Amino acid sequence: MDVVPVFEEKWTYKPFSAHIDDKGNIYARGAQDMKCVGIQYLEAIRRLQFQSVTLRRTIHVSFVPDEETGGVDGMKAFIKTNDFKNLNIGFALDEGMASPNNEYPVFYAERVIWQMHIHCPGHPGHGSLLLENTAGEKASYILNKLYEFRKEQQKKLKDNPNLTIGDVTTVNLTEVKGGVQANVIPPEFILTVDSRLAITVDFKKWEETLNTWCRDAGQGVYIEYEQKQSLIEPTKVDNSNPYWVAFKQATDELGLTLKPQVFTGGTDSRYIRAIGIPAFGFSPINNTSILAHENDEFLNTATFLKGILYYEKIIETIGNLTGYVKKNEKRLKM
């Protein structure tokens, strides 16, 4: 549903045992990302039903596969179906991220994913020679450019404490392919690069920059894109968005300190926003080390239970939102 593999030998407790230590910390894969929120949704709705709370809007809860691998067979496919369209959705809540301080991040947009395979072909031959035009030289040029840019983004983030990782562009080398044995210069190296573009980036200029690097690296270097997303309109976090007003009203009454920001990675919210439906990413987890995808991922029991109360309030407030009907909406739905 949204859970990644584990390296069990690196965990203090078995990662699928949900062990609770004497501090009340629940150790489990998915404790922060993302079994917690799914369970909190269901329990919050169960409690509202138990209290005989009725809402003006219909609440739907979706559990879909493949979020961690791009959501292609999950939410991306689901939104194209009549089943989804017949739900008549007006607004969506999705996952957020833990916060190491007292603030609660609320994600109104996501960076744009460009995943690239940069092909660096060259002159193959014996490893004892000094051949011209080798694949390694071209790969080296590309990597130098990528890491120079990466340092610029690190400096930008470090120099401005108001920025978060979602406000800058990241580039990371994730795979290198090529070569067959130690004494053979290969005919090609392929560099796989994961790039997450800030929503303020001029995409056309960024692509021109990448193409210039390839051209300057040497003959035949080119990019094969695995993912090349376009900018998706962010969800507004101001008074023009009644869902934001309702969400903020609920969290203000709960005494929560919110920090609206751009999400660092990619979630299923991108597919929701892409069809014009506003969406927020929110996980009620603060004062907690960010351990998504890491060893010994945990969530404190008190934080988990408190989050259910938060969702009760948020769901009830947004579920009773009145006076707003989206274009072509035949009935009020959340």
pLDDT digits (tens, 9 = 90+) for 13-56: 999 999 999 999 999 999 999 999 999 999 999 999 999 999 99
Residue 322 — pLDDT band, cuts 50, 70, 90?
confident
Task: Kindly tell me if the per-residue pLDDT of 304 is higher than 90.
Answer: yes
Number of domain units in the chain: 2
As a whole number, mean pLDDT of residues 75-98 equals: 96
Q: Residues near 210 by Cβ (< 8 Å), separated by ≥ 6?
A: 116, 223
Question: Distance (Å, rounded) from C-alpha 184 to C-alpha 179?
Answer: 7
* Model pLDDT, residue 69: 85
**117 and 222: one domain?**
yes
Residue 297 annotated as catalytic: no
User: The domain that contains 224 carries what CATH number?
Assistant: 3.30.70.360
**29 and 133: one domain?**
no
Task: Kindly tell me if the per-residue pLDDT of 103 is higher than 90.
Answer: yes
58 lies in a domain? yes
**297 and 155: one domain?**
no
Task: Kindly tell me if the per-residue pLDDT of 158 is higher than 50.
Answer: yes
**159 and 88: one domain?**
no
* Model pLDDT, residue 334: 45
Nearest 5 degrees, angle CA 71-CA 72-CA 75?
Answer: 55
**17 and 106: one domain?**
yes
Task: Kindly tell me if the per-residue pLDDT of 279 is higher than 90.
Answer: yes
**31 and 84: one domain?**
yes
207 lies in a domain? yes
**159 and 209: one domain?**
yes
Catalytic annotation, pick one of 9, 66, 67, 152: 67
> What residue numbers bound the domain in which 54 lies?
8-110+234-319
**164 and 103: one domain?**
no
Strands (E), 10-163: 19-20, 25-27, 92-94, 104-110, 112-121, 125-126
Task: Kindly tell me if the per-residue pLDDT of 110 is higher than 60.
Answer: yes
Instruction: Give the model confidence (pLDDT) of 219-276 as tens digits.
Output: 999 999 999 999 999 999 999 999 999 999 999 999 999 999 999 888 999 999 999 9
Q: DSSP characters for 289-305?
A: ---TTSTT-EEEHHHHH
3-state class percentages of the chain: helix first, strand second, coil last, to nearest 5: 35, 20, 45
Residue 208 annotated as catalytic: no
Share above pLDDT 70 across residues of the chain, in percent, rounded to a whole number: 96
As a whole number, mean pLDDT of residues 59-68 equals: 93
**205 and 257: one domain?**
no
**182 and 242: one domain?**
no
Can you tell me which residue has the tokens 């509202």?
A: 48
* Model pLDDT, residue 246: 97
As a whole number, mean pLDDT of residues 213-218 equals: 98
Residue 299 — pLDDT band, cuts 50, 70, 90?
very high
Share above pLDDT 90 across residues of the chain, in percent, rounded to a whole number: 92
**101 and 134: one domain?**
no
- Record the pTM: 0.87
182 lies in a domain? yes
Catalytic annotation, pick one of 2, 33, 95, 268: 2
**31 and 96: one domain?**
yes
As a whole number, mean pLDDT of residues 163-169 equals: 95
329 lies in a domain? no
Q: Is 258 exposed, middle or buried (0-12, 13-18, 19+ CB in 10 A)?
A: middle
Task: Kindly tell me if the per-residue pLDDT of 187 is higher than 80.
Answer: yes
* Model pLDDT, residue 88: 95
